[in-house]
Amino acid sequence: MSQQTLSTDSAGAPPAPPPRPRPSRSGGVSHARDYGRGFWVKVILVALIDAGAVYGILSAAAVSQWGIVAFLVVVLVAVNWAYFSRRALPAKYLLPGLVFLFAYVIFAAAYTGYIAFTNYGDGHNSTQADAIEAIQIQSEQRVEGSDAYPVTIVSQGGELGLAVVQDGQVEVGTADQPLEPVEGATEADGKPSEVPGWDVLNFASIAQQQDAIVALRVPVSDEPADGSLRTQDGSTAYIYQSTMTYDPATDTMTDADGTVYTPDDHGSFRAPDGTALTPGWKVNIGFENFTRAFTDSRISGPFISILIWNFVFAILSVATTFALGLFLAVVFNDPRIRGRKIYRSLLILPYAFPGFLAALVWKGMLNPDFGFINETLLGGASIPWLTDPTLAKVSVLLVNLWLGFPYMFLVCTGALQSIPGDVLESARMDGASAGRVQRSIVFPLLMVSVAPLLVASFAFNFNNFSLIYMLTGGGPNFEGTPIVVGHTDILISMVYSVAFESGVKQYGFASALSVLIFFIVGAISWWGFRRTRRLEEL
């Protein structure tokens, strides 16, 4: 009979025996999974995700957003497969990042590219059917000689409605539901007094919602040509009908004077004399948004100036902050300087403040009338730091220098301290001067680490929206342009102005400018990173 020797650990004790399989009721060995607390937490979290995805699928399907439906279905299947399959361990960690990457980066970029080829914006933000309905509603006028209806203002779940009496029957309608009879309603003096399921508003409630009641339009029937019921005082309603008639056969709109409006290539109904009806609808206009910045004489001049200034601003911002940061890093890297830790801590203070807040502080300090710089430092001078085009650009660069040099100081300090000391010592022993050591050894080795960060800094400053917006607002503004842009605007702040601050919002044009920014920054970053690879050969 052979004997089996048990191995012992360092303490001499035999190892613990493996756990014995749990017997099942049938007498065999049970391989059932032990469902611990973590498993049930996972089940609850996945169930919440599934519930949100199902709700999103149903909501998107209700408005025919089939792309969103497909995406949510894929996410729903992927989440349940990844977190309940033993073979999908890597997917458990990769899936959340991939979902957010697609939703917030890939989809956003693709949708911006799609909008860039459309006329999407104020007056062109929906479909042709919605535009036809809106035009007909806007052109409604009271029908001459129509009956006056004593009306009662009612409400149901916060939705306003009108109640009238027709042919002895109380009828109620809302903006989305035409007039329909209501059983069990009562009237008094030809006016509805009680409507089951609806709250009758008193005078005080009507006065509080006067604007919404005046704007309320209740269709008389399912046929749009029958008009709608509207009230101006909350007590009497009249029939209103549109003066515009749409002919589906010819796809034209005709007004009361017989003028025919036909659809054009830019999503508008237009008369022979060039008059267009508003609103229009969203259509594809090709590369028009991209060429507009160069072909429209009112925009091309400011656009070229902004583009040149954008490159100047980004290049000088990187150059000045790097030069100052490197100089200070070299100075305070010298072990002969006492109190280097204190000086370094003080130098990074500008980096500790939020950039937008610091820009607002500098804006106040540079105020030409009562700013600290003019009033205190310059003895009451009146220098237009932010209103003169040239001085405004200088101010932007100086403020950005104050904000950006601490970052470069930290980066250069770390890079300098990572250079091996024996390399520097060998150079000195070979008779190299201090300047030659810095020029031929320290700086090339420093650039190996810092060059990629300089490329990233260029990309950041090329899109440094917060500094421009908070400090100058892009001003002083150009004159005679259809969009509000100024001498210190960069492309990204111009995009914001086109999209939100120029009266008519032009999302298509703004998206086209965003695509141009993407390609410019992408091309320069690609070129810059290719150039930095050569430094690694040193």
| Secondary structure (H, E, C), 38-90 | HHHHHHHHHHHHHHHHHHHHHHHHHCCCHHHHHHHHHHHHHHHHHHHCCCCHH
Concatenating the DSSP letter of every residue in 368-409 gives TTT-HIIIIITSS----TTTSHHHHHHHHHHHHHHHHHHHHH
How far is 259 from 177, CA to CA, in rounded Å? 31
pLDDT score at 249: 93
One digit per residue, the tens of pLDDT, for the chain of length 538 reads 444 444 444 444 555 555 555 554 445 444 445 567 888 888 899 999 999 999 999 999 988 888 889 999 999 999 999 988 888 888 888 999 999 999 889 999 999 999 999 999 999 999 999 999 889 888 888 888 778 889 999 999 889 999 999 888 899 999 889 999 999 899 888 889 899 999 999 988 888 999 999 989 999 888 877 889 999 888 899 999 888 989 999 999 999 889 999 999 999 999 999 999 999 999 999 999 999 999 988 899 999 999 999 999 999 999 999 999 999 998 888 888 888 888 888 888 888 888 889 999 999 999 988 899 999 999 888 999 999 999 999 999 999 999 999 999 999 999 888 888 787 788 788 777 878 888 888 888 888 889 889 999 999 999 999 999 999 999 999 988 889 999 999 999 999 999 998 888 999 999 999 999 999 999 998 888 887 776 666 5
How do strand 22-23 and strand 180-181 relate by DSSP bridges?
unpaired
Nearest partner of 310 among 508, 474, 481, judged by Cα: 474
How far is 162 from 206, CA to CA, in rounded Å? 12
Secondary structure (3-state) at 23: strand
Secondary structure (3-state) at 245: strand
Q: What is the phi-psi region of residue 240: left when phi exceeds 0, alpha when psi lies from -120 to 50, beta otherwise?
A: beta
How far is 121 from 99, CA to CA, in rounded Å? 29
How far is 84 from 75, CA to CA, in rounded Å? 14
Nearest partner of 198 among 212, 213, 214, 185, judged by Cα: 185
| Per-residue exposure over 317-329, b if at least 16 CB sit within 10 Å of its own CB, e if not | bbebbbebbbebb
Secondary structure (3-state) at 242: strand
How do strand 199-200 and strand 218-219 relate by DSSP bridges?
unpaired
Is residue 69 within 8 Å of residue 53, measured between CB atoms? no
Is residue 396 within 8 Å of residue 488, measured between CB atoms? yes
Secondary structure (3-state) at 99: helix
pLDDT score at 38: 80
295-537 maps to CATH 1.20.1300.10: no
140-242 maps to CATH 2.40.430.10: yes
How far is 384 from 376, CA to CA, in rounded Å? 15
pLDDT score at 254: 94
pLDDT score at 74: 92
For 421, residues 6+ apart whose C-beta sits below 8 A from its C-beta are none
pLDDT score at 454: 92
- CA torsion 117→121→126→130, rounded to 10°? -140
How far is 216 from 181, CA to CA, in rounded Å? 19
How far is 224 from 245, CA to CA, in rounded Å? 10
How far is 187 from 170, CA to CA, in rounded Å? 7
